[in-house]
Amino acid sequence: MMKCLCCVFVLLFIIVIVEGKKLKIYKISLETKPKDRWNEIIKEYKEEIINVIEKTSELVLPILYPSTFIFKNYTINNRIHFKLIELFILPKLPHQYREEITGISKILQRPIGEVLVYNIFYDLISSKEIDQMLPFKSSSVIIQDKENNLIYQISKFDYLFNESIKNITFIVNFYQNNNLLYTSYHYGGYIGVLSGVKYNKFSITLNTREKGHLKDNLKYILYRQFNSVSLTIRTALEYENNFEDAILVLSETPYSVPVSFSITGNKEIEGCVVTSDRYKTLDVKYLNDTFLLSQKEDDSYLIDGIVNEINNQLNTTGKVVIDKILGGSYNNTR
């Protein structure tokens, strides 16, 4: 069963709620060699991460390689499968991310291809055929508070392996030259960013879109330039410095799967949702003078459904926190 995790971005701040527990915060310096950046975290959660990676592999590999269903003992097959993934896909990643995945693989003593699958499963398998099998789903809303000149971004993540994921979830502060560059939410072994904020600049959240076909994802990854969705978010947080540039990067980058992003800036009306197909950007929807903006592509009445779902799935502790931030106004969106 999928459970809920909620992130709230309030211009400069990130609040992440996981069943009422305060998440641990880690520091990663981008001056550290990429292979070594995640060492402390991986060693701390090693067994738990291996457990989630194995579950992810059991889910994803039969989709990528249907032959794994045929044999009950397919350990040797898996090694071959992971090696093929490493050979064909790993070189397509930017150098620092290749090195990070290699370093994590070494500590976990798992195949590089398996750790890679764990990090790019959304890019591989997100499609309308298997929308119920994604290891996670995410959605978000952007709320404008005109009275206080604030913008709130509320993001909800539903995890298939919630009981395992919640124990390896944390916040990372990324530093460059001893200065805080950006903050993002992660779970162990996953180097991409699903939600992140560059302080006093902008925030980004991934919204999943279960569109398109699996075979088209794989063709795109193998025969075209491959840009992982979550790694593109991380790259935008690392290199871009304002709301407009973040939109430009996310809207002009081609992806192997349909996706959308919620982006907020540090000014009153700086909120937008970028919706992309496999080959092009379909829509950039701005907050402007509206009160609330969501990633839903259908009729506007569905916006209420997202907020109501967030309300229903937030635990009691989470509601107390959100009420303090939003003053209870998020319960009435229309």
Per-residue pLDDT tens for 243-254?
A: 999 999 999 999
Paired residues of 170 in beta bridges: 24, 186
Per-residue pLDDT tens for 190-238?
A: 999 999 999 889 999 998 877 778 888 888 888 888 999 999 999 999 9
- Judged against a pLDDT cut of 60, whether residue 173 lies above it is answered with yes
Q: Cα–Cα distance between 139 and 306 in angstroms, integer? A: 7
The mean pLDDT value of the chain amounts to 80
Task: Judge contact between 153 and 262, C-beta under 8 A.
Answer: yes
Task: Judge contact between 107 and 46, C-beta under 8 A.
Answer: yes
Please provide residue 221's backbone torsions phi and psi, each rounded to the nearest 5 degrees. -60, -40
What percentage of the chain exceeds 90 in pLDDT? Answer: 43
The predicted model scores a pTM of 0.83
Q: Kindly calculate the radius of gyration of the chain based on its CA atoms and give it in whole angstroms.
A: 19
**Other Cβ atoms closer than 10 A to 331:** 12
- Judged against a pLDDT cut of 90, whether residue 280 lies above it is answered with no
CA angle 19–183–278, rounded 5-degree value? 90
Q: Note the pLDDT of residue 290.
A: 60
Token pair for 185: 């939410």
List all residues 6 or more positions away from 239 whose beta carbon is below 8 Å from its beta carbon.
none
Per-residue pLDDT tens for 28-56?
A: 999 999 999 999 999 999 999 999 999 99
Q: 291 in helix, strand or coil? A: coil
Domain formed by 3-27+135-331, architecture: 4-Layer Sandwich (3.60)
For residues 137-153, give the mean pLDDT. 75
Which of 30, 322, 55 has its CA nearest to residue 189? 55
Could you tell me which residue, 136 or 25, shows the higher pLDDT?
Answer: 25
Token pair for 228: 């992982």
- Residues spanned by CATH 3.60.60 within the chain? 3-27+135-331
